[in-house]
Structures are given as structure tokens and as C-alpha cells.
Structure 1
Amino acid sequence: MEERIYALMLLCLVLSGVSAIDVTIPQRQYEYARGDNITLSCSFTTTSPINSRTLVVITWSVLSLQPTIEETVIATYYHWPTPSTDIDTDYEGRVSLDLDLTQGKANLKLSSISLADNKDFECRVHTPGDKKGKISATTRLVVLAAPSKPICKIQGTAEYHQNISLICVSEEGSPPPTYSWERHDIKNNPVPHDPSTTDSGGILSLYDIAIWTSGYYICTSENKIHAATCNITLSVSPPKISPSLGWLLNFFN
């Protein structure tokens, strides 16, 4: 498919005079919920009118954010000699083109979008006689998903004078969720965190803990779509006495 595109591009240059094309996408970013069927709009203007024998090639590609990974051409339309559309095998059944060449419309329709579609998309139009100007436009697709129910856990030993962390993480969410921790005492009354406590990225770090550090801790994972919570009951206890030390204490008692 790529060889055919390059051959037609070369033919466009041979047949063309010097003029300009303008390809535009109205929004720099689109936001849709996971599972939606969407349309990414692309419009273009050409110097000369397009007819049934005009050599037009329209491509939609997914651009990689990593320079070592090449773009993926997901759909290509050939207007001449016979109108036809090639769809990348990974997108078959999910992608189609909504075209009206006389009106300069070259839209991409994408169904059942997933978090894997959080990418940059490029619309590119090649026509004879238009080798200058703006032949492509890009947009970013942001697929929105509520945070999954976070998982709360304790890292460290909940004993006097220890430093521990309460960990909170949602496995998915788009945009990435933010996290916040609330603390309740053993009577379930809201209480402020100790001044030395730090709360960053879902990790609540507790230092030199004591009996009054015990309580009920609630983590909220939230993005612009929704919020979800998890909780932990923290019980801080004295250090365990080793068997040898226990024997010694019993001996002197």
C-alpha cells in the first residue's frame, strides 16, 4: 500500500504546476468517552476542481510519540482510476472514511474507541497541481475513562516509631487520575494529617507513627469523568517482643 502511495505522489508532482493546497482539522484536540463512535473532521481546498479523472490520494495515519516508531497509515483512499479505500488490518471493522471531494471533506470515522486510541492522528491530501501549501493537518484524540476502583495497601510495619506509607493506585483512568487522602480517627471523626505527613501521587507517607496515628484512611482517585475510593483501617501497635527478650523479662518477673 505504501509503495502505491509514493508512486501516486510522484505522479502528482510530475503532472502538477505550481499552486497550493490547504488541509485543515478544526480542532487541535478531541475528547470522547471510551466506547464512543466518533468522527475526526478534515477539510481541504484545492486550486483546481476535482473530477472523476483527478488523481487524489487521501490518507489518515496514527502518529507515534516515539521517534523510533514509524507512523501507521490506517486508511488510504484512491480516487483514480477507480475509487477504492484500503484499511489497515488492525483497524478493519472500526474505520471508514466519510468523503465528499467536491466539498473538500475527508473525515475519519472510528468506532468503539478504547484507551489504546489515545494518539495523534494526521489527515493528508495529495492532488495533482497542488504540490505547495499545507498538505496535512494533525489532531490529538483523548479517550476519556473514569478511574478504576483504586487499590489501597500499607507498605511497612505499623508499629510505634516506624515510617510507613499508604499506597493508593487506580490501574486505569484517562486523563490520569489525581489522588488525595483523608484521615478519620478511631471514632470516625475527620482529623488533619500530622504536619510531617506527605501526600503525593497516591502515596501518603507517615513518619514516627504512634498510637494516635491509628484510624480510618480514605483515598479518592479522581479525574474529570468520575471519582472512586478505597480505604484502610490502620492500627498502630507496640513492637513485638522477640521470644528471647520475652523469656528474659519473664525471668526477672
Structure 2
Amino acid sequence: MASGLEITTTEQTVIEKASGQSVKLDCQFTLAPEDTGPLDIEWSLMPSDNQQEDKVQVILYSGDRAYEDYYEPVKGRVHFNSADPKNGDASINLTGLKSSDSGTYQCKVKKAPGIRSRRMLLIVMKPSRPRCYTDGPTQEGKDIVLRCLSSEGTQPLQYTWEKTSDNKLLPASAVMTINVKNASASASGTYICTASNRVGAEECILHLNITPPNTAGIIAGAIIAVLLILIIIAIILFCCCRAHHRKKYEKEICNEIEDVPPPKSRVSTARSFTVGSQRSSLGSMSPSNLHEYTLKPQYDKIPSSEEYDRPPSNVPLPPTNTAKMAGPNLSRMGAIPVMIPAQNRDGS
């Protein structure tokens, strides 16, 4: 059956847009006199999986009225481009694009007996929006890494670096990092990283300031190290002096102990006491008593310690023997001759 309805739009069938932007999906048509039925316009989102036959209606025009609340994810964001689509404009506008809006859209125009449709692919891409930062300490002599990363941008992404302080283009494109070896003060400046993809380009700015080494920290560390060394030396000297004084004290104590005379033994004291007593007794005895004293063997020996400790009351008295000892014997025993005046027997 012949039909005069035709879709006249011949623009691109693949549309790339960045998220957050707006897009117009064109669908222009013309009618013929034989197309006398009611006009129906239907926009639907085709499933990405070919095995799925169900499609989702996005917006609908039927009975001279627009129905825009069919698909919840795009509710309030999709509208017909013309207030009266009967004039041949079935295009729609989709605002506030999201990544979930990507897909194949179909425009279907029906006015009996004519039916025509057109499909187009919408790709919603994320902008680059890179972030600039540094890795490592920004000090002279250190290795620094300048990084530029777009975590949300849709691939493929390209990166370019530029140092605005001297208008120097740093490495070639598609480089996310710059390694600065043994950084010096000349590396300081303002760097711009530009990340771009098919939907646009974004940039970030990095201010790099190379600082001299932390001399205050080095000096403080050296002072602390010197103090620790001095404390260790002081502890060692204190221990050595204490050990030296201890040895000296022990040596003096030993010398004092050696200089103290040993105590006299009890036997020698008792012997000296006994011998002295014997001599005293012999000196005070008469010749007649000496003869009797020398005849007792018990007075010729040194008393034992037990006999020495015995009270004087237990010492046996010499026997009353009046035997006389010869003079030579007394002299040999160490007796001293004494002149005794003549006395009668009763007096002596």
C-alpha cells in the first residue's frame, strides 16, 4: 500500500554529548493527502541487549495531546520541541543528561495508512574534570611526581602539561604524571594540566613551590644526638669512678684488718699468770717451804683451761710437809736467797 508519509531528517545517527548538557533528537516528517488517519507520535528507548524485545516508551503524542510522564528516569526532562507536532516536527529535547540516558532512541510517526520510523544513538559522556596534586616532599634535592588524573572522564582521555611561568610545554600528550628528579628551585612555578576527550576539555592548576632543606630540623637533630652522646659518656665515667672508689675502699679495709695485732691466746695468758704466781710464791716462801713445794709434780706443769677457770677455793692447798729442799736446787729453780733472822720455833 502506497503512502505519502516521509521522515525527512537526514542528520547524524550518532550523537555524543557530555553529561549535564542538553540534546535535541530530530525527527521531521511530511504528510500526503492520502494520510487521513489520526496522528500518533511515539518515542521509545530500545534495549541495549538485542535479545530483549521490550522497549520503553519515553514520550507520546496522540489525540492532539502530549503524554510526557511515561518513563520515570526522564520524567520532567523530556519535552516535544514543537508545541503542535502536527506541523511536521516530532523532535524532542532531553535536558540534564545523565550516563543512564545513553541508548538507542526510535522516533515512530503513524498517520494511517502511512507509518515511518527513525533510530539514532545517543552517547552521554562524562567530562574530564582532572585533579592535580603532587607526590613526595617539595624540597630541594628530593624526587617529586606531578600527577593529573580524571577519574570520571570518559575514555579515551588525553593529557597535556604546561608551565605558565615560562610558557613551556612539558611532555607530550597522554601523560598523566611528570617526574621531577633532584628538584631545584628552578622547578617552582605554576603548572596547568589539560584533560580532554571527545566531548570537551577541562584543566586543573598546580602551584609548585620548592623549599630549601629543613635546616632547623637538621640542627635540632644534631643537638639532640650530641646531648645523647654526652649523657652516655657521663654515665660511663660515673660508673668507672664508682667502681674505682669501691676498690679503693675495699683495699683500705683489708690493710686495717692486717694491722690489728692478733689477740693473745688464753693458754699463754694462763701460763704467764701461773709462772708469775709460782715465782711470786717461791720468792715469798722460806727455804723449808720451797723444798716441800718443789716436791709436788702438779705445780711443775701449766694448768689447763678448765683448771684456770676453776675458782680459787677448789685449788688444792700444798701439803704441810716440813721436808727441806737443798739450796742448790732452789738456786737452779730461780729462787732468791733471803736472810731470815733467827727466831724461835713458835715465832716462825
Normalised TM-score (structure 1)? 0.55
- Structure-1 separation of matches of 2:32 and 2:147: 60
Structure with the greater relative contact order (CA < 8 A, sep ≥ 6): 1 or 2? 1
Q: Tell me: CA distance 1:234–1:119, structure 2 relative to 1, closer, same or farther (3 Å).
A: farther
**1:78 maps to amino acid:** S
2:96 pairs with 1:113: yes
**Out of 129, 132, 135, which is 2:117 matched to?**
135
Deviation at 1:75, TM superposition (A): 0.8
Q: Which residue in the other structure is 2:42 paired with?
A: 59
2:59 pairs with 1:75: yes
Q: Tell me: CA distance 1:144–1:90, structure 2 relative to 1, closer, same or farther (3 Å).
A: closer
2:23 pairs with 1:43: no
Kindly tell me the number of residue pairs found equivalent between the two proteins.
214
- Structure-1 separation of matches of 2:55 and 2:73: 14
Deviation at 1:169, TM superposition (A): 3.6
**1:60 maps to amino acid:** W
Gaps of 5+ in 1: 1-16
- Structure-1 separation of matches of 2:205 and 2:66: 52
- Aligned to 2:206, what secondary structure does the other structure show? strand
Q: Which residue in the other structure is 1:230 paired with?
A: 205
- Aligned to 1:179, what secondary structure does the other structure show? strand
Question: Bigger radius of gyration, 1 or 2?
Answer: 2
- Structure-2 separation of matches of 1:166 and 1:38: 37
Deviation at 1:218, TM superposition (A): 0.9
2:179 pairs with 1:206: yes
- Structure-2 separation of matches of 1:66 and 1:214: 53
Q: Which residue in the other structure is 1:90 paired with?
A: 73
- Structure-2 separation of matches of 1:205 and 1:37: 36
- Structure-1 separation of matches of 2:85 and 2:194: 44
Deviation at 1:227, TM superposition (A): 5.4
- Aligned to 1:90, what secondary structure does the other structure show? helix
- Structure-1 separation of matches of 2:102 and 2:78: 15
Higher strand proportion: 1
1:67-126 per-residue CA deviation (whole Å, 9 max, x = no partner) reads 6887543112334xx85635322333332333433x43312144x433545665431223
- Structure-2 separation of matches of 1:208 and 1:66: 51
Q: Tell me: CA distance 1:141–1:221, structure 2 relative to 1, closer, same or farther (3 Å).
A: same
Q: Tell me: CA distance 1:192–1:202, structure 2 relative to 1, closer, same or farther (3 Å).
A: closer
Higher helix proportion: 2
Residues 105 and 122 of structure 2 are in contact (CA less than 8 Å); yes or no, is this contact kept in structure 1?
Answer: yes
